[in-house]
Structure 1
């Protein structure tokens, strides 16, 4: 065995050479490995192992050894109090069962506290007896000084490297407006600085699936008290899990406006976090919190700009004087596409309080299942101007079979008057975000004037082309549509209707009942023809029907059905006479000629017994 003085000189030289070789990136673990190998060689020992002492957990952790221990775990000392009276140098006199394989023990103390233990196993029996107590004590003190110097230098270089990485990552994440990029840089930096640790990002309000990032949802009902404490108070929390033999550090991702999540750092082997590491992780988490806040604000601003563009484009489109059906169809498509809704409908509130779904609403709102939602709407809203934002309709109607669980309802208001409601549905519960709800409110608010104008314009057009008493179209509208049909259709049938003995009805019952008879006959006509057919008031008690693309045989049948229904359903009972004319594209005709032939047929019917249908000769 070499002289102690010479050995210490070699160990100090080893430290200096290590500093020089590392070029400012010295690691205490790599130096410890070389240190124990040098001691093992000098003492001609079979094995030298350096244990780091963890007084709080009462166990020894292998920091370096001249042998490779893949299976050896940390040594938990049953009677840890023996270390309190540990001699500066012990040879075959260390009564700890877990260390019985070693013969020489050199306790390493810092400020009278045991921080490490060098355990040596003899290579040549009796060789350790040559070391005197004074030499052992002096050697232990000097090795401790060398270790302290190595650890201090390692901490300085490690701290320098950490803060250099912190500066780099700060510069990088603050130049990025992508949340994924920010979170990825945080994890990458931690993995570079602490490769043996495990990391998780616990985030709030995060619905995006980040690829390859260890992200968990941070629920407000979390049972982990330390996590919630870090999130609520904005301070770092440290939690020791003795059974699992690990330590958790929870650092809040804190910005100027709030906390956006928590960074969880898991240290294995129940290691305590040194104060400087806690400080570094805290700074990194704060940097991440600020960057996340900036990225979130940037994304919010972009989303706001996109929302404003969306509202502006929609308003511009609606102000192009579209027909009501076109307006509502466009609105439905905008909402379905932008909000990813399953159904979108528009309720029009009539002056008498009744509500109907406007054309353009999705098909669901013409089905029988709509009643469930309409009834709920009437109960909750009535005539109020408040909007509804419901995450789960099943909770509101637990006894009902609810197909669509998420619902948003926004009133269409103009000049303090409610014209109707926009109703948006989705099958999944809690599907729509609150930002989506606010956007729908803003959209309906900015387009209500255009929607109201479209409704009013439709009403005015209807008033212009509609007879106010019967609800049938005006004669001018009938002329216009017949002219269009003669140009584009293949054939058509025209029916002229006259109420028999109508003057007698007025003389017997009065003009009010006469008007009622006109309304009854008009309603029978409307219910007997298609939407594409045209029922009109011809003048006085005469009514007219035009059936585009209908043959004379079918047209005559429709006229006879109307004649039969009038005699059966009117009260007081009246009858009608009908004159029928027709045209085909093989013999192009004129509107006036159709009128003339139908009028001639009606004249014959009136003068040959009435209550009959006659076709032109």
Structure 2
């Protein structure tokens, strides 16, 4: 309440019409008023109550009374016919003598004194400083209203005072109610923010933020626009598209990181766009559109507070997710590495790697390719597509060719729509999503991992990064197994001839005797080999030995085992082969050695066999019988085959 209004009833001295008005005693009242609008309301309500009181005291009065403002503008109209009826000021024209009373009101306002004419009268009311505050005009149906005013006008200041006090109490009550509402809203907002900060799950943060906004503004249209993909959670979550001209307000709020308001021409707020901001940047925008109730400044502040809390909670949730993901990835890498290192067999490593990759990425297909012996080809070492295993693929074709050429992992979101690379693997499987990574060993690309799924956009960037990480322990395991296999090959292989060693042959013969029903052994000896070394030198002797070993290896099956038994003697074990078949193999070796070696040499062979029905079966006995047969061939003239 800012100013004070002092009211003094106008002095009606002097002639003002047909009836001389007896002036009431001068008096003033103080009326607190905050604005011209509230002052008029006090005058209007006090006028109505004063009229009702006067009519109750003097029920015989008939006529009408009008309250006008300081500029003689009508404020209220009361028609008295037994009981007062309130009408709008605009309806004054329906009354008789309306213009006459309005003229008197204007005259009283100009002259600053009461005026009357016939059945009409107008009395100005002015403040303590002499300025006009209001004018009361009247028209009486039963004569001049002067007596009515003399009796009742002195009570008007009392009604004005009472009305001013009543309105001040109402204003105070409204202010207290408003402050209580603000306190309650702040408490609600505090609990909402506290609830958001207590959440660590991203989906629950989004759900809670939208729920709180909808609780505060049930009549508003609420949308949450995110700058990154989120799972579908049954909430009004939409992607934030920077090219969408219909969301210019949201886009600007996101870029400027401040709340923006959509104001109408009348200045009211009908739209609010509040960015969700964390310490690392903005993540989305809370967008509200008013339907029935427009937004107040307090509403906008509440939306801003919730959006800031949601942004921080969302960021914390994402960081928590990422930390969990990193922990799970480290645990997965550790477990995978441990399992891979438990085996040094390449086949087992490849099988386990494919099974784990299919499980980890929930993929439909997985394929691991390795550099083949030919530089321009890759070998499909293992795949869950049986027909692909063992296939050779051109090194410069398909996605594997891109990976080897760029030495970088790749991701394909939709092969059928976007890919510029032709892939037989993707076409044969009908897959649309793919991630691929190179396998490194000692800084060189030695293979490629391909993982595919039928659905488009199936693999995420996190999957892409995880595969890049997992390819390292897989490559390390392959390298270790390959080195182990190479060392083992060197241990069981004769360096000069490339045949197996005698120890390995002994082990394999013993193993076969434990598991098979029969088998044969051929012992081959180069005739007069000492004479060749003595006459031509040991280098020529080694050359002859290599030639004979090569011929021997080409005359037997892959399942047969050829070994250097000692010096110039070779031994070949033939599983599941009878002595007659072994004789044929020995003859094939003898004939080709005689025909193909340079310098030409001959060989003698001793053949023996064993059967599960024999009384005594042992490795030593089998070798002894073959050795005896070889000596028999030597004594018979060499370059021939004997059995023992």
The TM-score by the shorter chain falls in which range?
0.5 to 0.7
1:442 counterpart residue number: 469
Cα 1:359–1:351 shift into 2, 3 Å: closer
Q: CA deviation at 1:259?
A: 1.6
Measured in 2, the distance between the counterparts of 1:482 and 1:181 equals: 68
What SS does the corresponding residue of 2:290 show, helix, strand or coil?
A: strand
Measured in 2, the distance between the counterparts of 1:341 and 1:556 equals: 54
CA contact (8 A) 1:345 1:365 kept: no
1:474 counterpart residue number: 501
- Could you report, residue by residue, the CA deviation over 1:378-436 in whole angstroms, capped at 9, with x for unpaired residues? 7435577544444455645455553454122133244xx42623513113444332223
Q: CA deviation at 1:459?
A: 1.0
CA contact (8 A) 1:524 1:562 kept: no
What SS does the corresponding residue of 1:268 show, helix, strand or coil?
A: coil
Cα 1:399–1:321 shift into 2, 3 Å: closer
What SS does the corresponding residue of 1:371 show, helix, strand or coil?
A: strand
1:492 aligns with 2:521: no
Q: CA deviation at 1:255?
A: 0.9
CA contact (8 A) 2:409 2:435 kept: no
Q: CA deviation at 1:465?
A: 0.7
Measured in 1, the distance between the counterparts of 2:491 and 2:549 equals: 18
Q: CA deviation at 1:376?
A: 3.9
1:597 counterpart residue number: 625
Measured in 2, the distance between the counterparts of 1:591 and 1:557 equals: 20
CA contact (8 A) 2:404 2:448 kept: no
Q: CA deviation at 1:89?
A: 4.5
Cα 1:216–1:497 shift into 2, 3 Å: farther
CA contact (8 A) 2:494 2:564 kept: yes
Measured in 2, the distance between the counterparts of 1:301 and 1:520 equals: 60
Cα 1:381–1:170 shift into 2, 3 Å: same
1:277 counterpart residue number: 299
Q: Which runs of 5+ in 2 are unaligned?
A: 1-43, 51-82, 94-159
CA contact (8 A) 2:518 2:577 kept: yes
2:447 counterpart residue number: 421
1:518 counterpart residue number: 548
Q: CA deviation at 1:170?
A: 1.4
CA contact (8 A) 1:237 1:249 kept: yes
- Could you report, residue by residue, the CA deviation over 1:123-173 in whole angstroms, capped at 9, with x for unpaired residues? xxxxxxxxxxxxxxx9xx999999998987775455444332221121112
Cα 1:429–1:513 shift into 2, 3 Å: farther
User: Which of 596, 607, 613 is 1:572 aligned to?
Assistant: 596
1:184 aligns with 2:207: yes
Measured in 2, the distance between the counterparts of 1:373 and 1:364 equals: 21
Cα 1:5–1:169 shift into 2, 3 Å: same
Measured in 2, the distance between the counterparts of 1:371 and 1:514 equals: 38
- Could you report, residue by residue, the CA deviation over 1:177-232 in whole angstroms, capped at 9, with x for unpaired residues? 1112212211221222111223232234334232x323233455545442433333
2:488 counterpart residue number: 461
2:22 counterpart residue number: none
User: Which of 265, 288, 297 is 2:319 aligned to?
Assistant: 297
Measured in 1, the distance between the counterparts of 2:511 and 2:447 equals: 36
Measured in 1, the distance between the counterparts of 2:220 and 2:85 equals: 36
Q: CA deviation at 1:354?
A: 6.3
Measured in 2, the distance between the counterparts of 1:571 and 1:218 equals: 82
- Could you report, residue by residue, the CA deviation over 1:486-507 in whole angstroms, capped at 9, with x for unpaired residues? 33x1423133163887969999
CA contact (8 A) 2:524 2:569 kept: yes
The alignment's TM-score, normalised by the length of structure 1, stands at 0.63
Q: CA deviation at 1:588?
A: 4.8
Which shows bigger deviation, 332-341 or 590-599? 332-341
CA contact (8 A) 2:404 2:445 kept: no
Cα 1:364–1:431 shift into 2, 3 Å: farther
Measured in 2, the distance between the counterparts of 1:375 and 1:299 equals: 38
The alignment's TM-score, normalised by the length of structure 2, stands at 0.61
Cα 1:153–1:170 shift into 2, 3 Å: same
Measured in 2, the distance between the counterparts of 1:388 and 1:519 equals: 47
1:162 aligns with 2:192: no
CA contact (8 A) 2:519 2:610 kept: yes
1:174 counterpart residue number: 197
Q: CA deviation at 1:293?
A: 0.4
Cα 1:147–1:236 shift into 2, 3 Å: farther
Q: CA deviation at 1:260?
A: 1.7
1:324 counterpart residue number: 346
Measured in 1, the distance between the counterparts of 2:613 and 2:520 equals: 15
Q: CA deviation at 1:334?
A: 3.3
Measured in 1, the distance between the counterparts of 2:49 and 2:345 equals: 98
What SS does the corresponding residue of 2:499 show, helix, strand or coil?
A: coil
Measured in 2, the distance between the counterparts of 1:152 and 1:522 equals: 110
1:209 counterpart residue number: 232
Measured in 1, the distance between the counterparts of 2:231 and 2:552 equals: 60
Measured in 2, the distance between the counterparts of 1:275 and 1:516 equals: 97
- Could you report, residue by residue, the CA deviation over 1:261-319 in whole angstroms, capped at 9, with x for unpaired residues? 222323325x6433332221121111101000011111111211222222223334444
Measured in 2, the distance between the counterparts of 1:486 and 1:165 equals: 85
User: Which of 253, 266, 275 is 1:230 aligned to?
Assistant: 253
Q: CA deviation at 1:567?
A: 6.4
Measured in 1, the distance between the counterparts of 2:403 and 2:607 equals: 52
What SS does the corresponding residue of 2:331 show, helix, strand or coil?
A: helix
Q: CA deviation at 1:476?
A: 0.8
Measured in 1, the distance between the counterparts of 2:343 and 2:459 equals: 31
Q: CA deviation at 1:468?
A: 3.1
What SS does the corresponding residue of 2:258 show, helix, strand or coil?
A: coil
1:50 counterpart residue number: none
Cα 1:372–1:356 shift into 2, 3 Å: closer
How many residue pairs end up in the alignment?
482
User: Which of 369, 380, 384 is 2:402 aligned to?
Assistant: 380
Measured in 2, the distance between the counterparts of 1:290 and 1:497 equals: 82
1:33 counterpart residue number: none
- Could you report, residue by residue, the CA deviation over 1:583-606 in whole angstroms, capped at 9, with x for unpaired residues? 216645100112233445566778
Measured in 2, the distance between the counterparts of 1:295 and 1:385 equals: 35
Measured in 1, the distance between the counterparts of 2:582 and 2:388 equals: 28
Cα 1:490–1:421 shift into 2, 3 Å: closer
Measured in 1, the distance between the counterparts of 2:383 and 2:449 equals: 9
